[in-house]
Chain A
Amino acid sequence: MMVRASTEQGVNAVLSREFEIDEANLVPTANLYEDLELDSLDAVDLVAALERQFQMKIDRHKDEETIRQMRTLADVYGFVDTKLGEKTSQSG
């Protein structure tokens, strides 16, 4: 799945700024829990921070399962990109 470069940059900026993760470790294949050493509370914090960064709205019924399934940074990029696409189509 192709993800916009701006999405990757924005997600990486949040991880770097809020979770103090070295940017060198922010590669799409990085596992959130094993490589980036996040825990389940951090994962919730990450989604909340991304919600603010990208001004997107998490849908309680639609997005929870996707969030639960996220394992790699590529999953996060894809999730945010999809949400941004939805936002654009709704506003257009």
Chain B
Amino acid sequence: MPPLSVPLAELVPHRPPMLWLDHLVEYSPDQGRTIGVVAAKHLFAEASGMLHPSASIELVAQTAAAHEGYQRRLEDKGVGGGFLVGVRDFVFWGAPECGDTIEVVARRRWSVGPVSVVSGQVTGSCGLLAEGELSFYLDDRAVPEAMQPRPQQIGDGTRQRSVGVSCGDIMGGIIIGENRDAGRAELFFERTCPVFCGHFPSFPLLPAVVSVRICMELLARWESDLEVPRVLHAKFGEAIQPPVTITVGSAPQIVEAQQRRRFWLQVDDNKAADIAFEVRQRSTARPGEGDQR
């Protein structure tokens, strides 16, 4: 059988700068494998030359989307719509490095109605970088119909807000209010933020991975002595459309001696995401060491 090498752009609706992998190189009904070179000017690149660790979530998501896209191609269907709606037990062992070639595997595990559960792994030249489980809402309709607003869409896409003094920005979202002691922040995202150019060109939505990164970056601003080895669980119940002001809240939790930080994202009174992180004192130890997995 000749080796598979299908450009990802033919299989998924993502476009640069949100198209992060190059080719689907393996397909079976239960599993897809992709490869890609991490761009030097990657949207998630940090000063260290590494990507923000949360990027691995999107890499698995795009591999799952490519797997689904290839399956749809075999069935003579167009590129479909899908949304990342959940993350579970996603461990960051490291972060992809700019210039490195990475390999991503996504395994389709089981489904309940339109929600599919996928497990995935991201590997770089230095070994396993991240692994965990994601849930997707899959729309059987082809793009662009599948990208039309879902009933629970929030952010009206037209509302503007006067922006006061900026306290900084995260992924182009301007921090327009911040109370570190209370664990609260407000961010404003313009339609023109680069992240929306590729997610998606005809129908901009805030990628779920950006919600995760917002929370991790706020945690780093508020409690710089802590690091996040694992996303315990995340639920993205609403799609966020720009321009939009997002309110972020957080609270510490201790569950069975495990230190957690719980974050939630709201648009007006609608909860858009609920994310729980395992946290620990910043160290050089590998994540998950000493854990019973």
- If over half of A's interface residues share one DSSP class (helix, strand or loop), that class is named, otherwise mixed; here it is helix
Q: Which residues of B contact A64 (CB under 8 A)?
A: 110-112
Residues A45 and B86 in contact in the complex (CB < 8 Å), given A39-B237, A58-B109, A64-B112: yes
Cα separation A39 to B112 with both chains bound (whole Å): 12
Tally inter-chain residue pairs, CB-CB below 8 A.
Answer: 48
On whether A45 and B110 interact (CB within 8 A), knowing A17-B255, A17-B256, the answer reads: no
Q: Are B255 and A44 in contact (CB under 8 A)?
A: no
Restricting to A55-75, which residues have a CB under 8 Å from any CB of B?
Answer: 58-60, 63-64, 67-68
B88, A45: Cβ atoms under 8 Å?
yes
Known interface pairs A17-B256, A18-B233, A39-B237; A44-B112 also in contact (CB < 8 Å):
yes
Q: Give complex CA distance A59, B108 in Å.
A: 11
Write out the residue numbers on chain A whose beta carbons fall within 8 Å of the beta carbon of B237.
39, 41
**Among candidates B85, B108, B133, B255, residue contacting A41 with C-beta atoms closer than 8 Å:** B85
CB distance A44 to B135 under 8 Å?
Answer: yes
B104 interface contact, C-beta 8 A: no
Chain A residues with CB below 8 A from B235, complex form: 41-42, 45
Q: Would you call B86 and A47 a contact (CB within 8 A)?
A: no
Within 8 A of B (CB), among A3-59: 17-18, 39-45, 47-49, 52, 58-59
A19: shortest Cβ distance to chain B, in Å? 10
Q: Which chain B residues lie closer than 8 Å to A52 at the CB level?
A: 89
Contact A67 B112 (CB under 8 A): yes
Kindly report which residue of chain B lies nearest to residue A43, judged by CB atoms.
Answer: B112
B115 at the interface (CB under 8 A from A): yes
Q: Is the interface of B mostly helix, strand, loop or mixed?
A: strand
Report the separation of the CA atoms of residues A39 and B133 in the bound assembly, to the nearest whole angstrom: 19
Q: Number of residues in B with C-beta < 8 Å to the partner?
A: 20
B113 at the interface (CB under 8 A from A): yes
Q: Is B265 interfacial (CB-CB < 8 Å)?
A: no
Residue of A nearest to B111 (CB): A64
**Interchain nearest-CB distance for B246 vs A (Å):** 20
- A67: chain B residues at CB < 8 Å are 110, 112
Give chain A nearest CB distance to B133 CB in angstroms: 6
Are B115 and A40 closer than 8 Å at their CB atoms? yes
Complex: chain A residue closest to B108, CB-CB: A60
B61 within 8 A of partner (CB) = no
- Contact between B135 and A68 (Cβ–Cβ < 8 Å)? no
Q: Among the listed B89, B112, B117, which residue makes an inter-chain contact with A68, where contact means beta carbons less than 8 Å apart?
A: B112
Q: Is the CB of B111 within 8 A of A41?
A: no
Q: In the complex, which residues 1-47 of chain B have their Cβ closer than 8 Å to any Cβ of chain A?
A: 30
Taking CB atoms, residues of chain A closer than 8 Å to B109 are: 58, 60
User: Shortest distance in angstroms between B212's beta carbon and chain A's nearest beta carbon?
Assistant: 16
Chain B contacts for A45, CB-based, 8 A: 86, 88, 135, 233, 235
Chain B 71-112 interface residues, beta-carbon cutoff 8 Å to A: 85-86, 88-89, 108-112
- Greatest chain A CB density within 10 A among B86, B112, B117, B135 is at B112
A41-B256 contact given A47-B112, A63-B110, A64-B112, CB 8 Å threshold: no
- B interface with A by C-beta (< 8 Å): 30, 85-86, 88-89, 108-113, 115, 117, 133, 135, 233, 235, 237, 255-256
| Ranked 5 nearest A-B pairs via Cβ | A60-B110, A58-B110, A44-B115, A67-B112, A44-B112
Given A48-B133, A48-B135, 6 extra CB contacts under 8 A: A18-B233, A43-B112, A45-B135, A45-B233, A45-B235, A60-B30
* 10 CB-based A-B contacts, threshold 8 Å: A17-B255, A40-B115, A41-B235, A41-B237, A42-B235, A44-B112, A44-B115, A45-B88, A64-B112, A67-B112
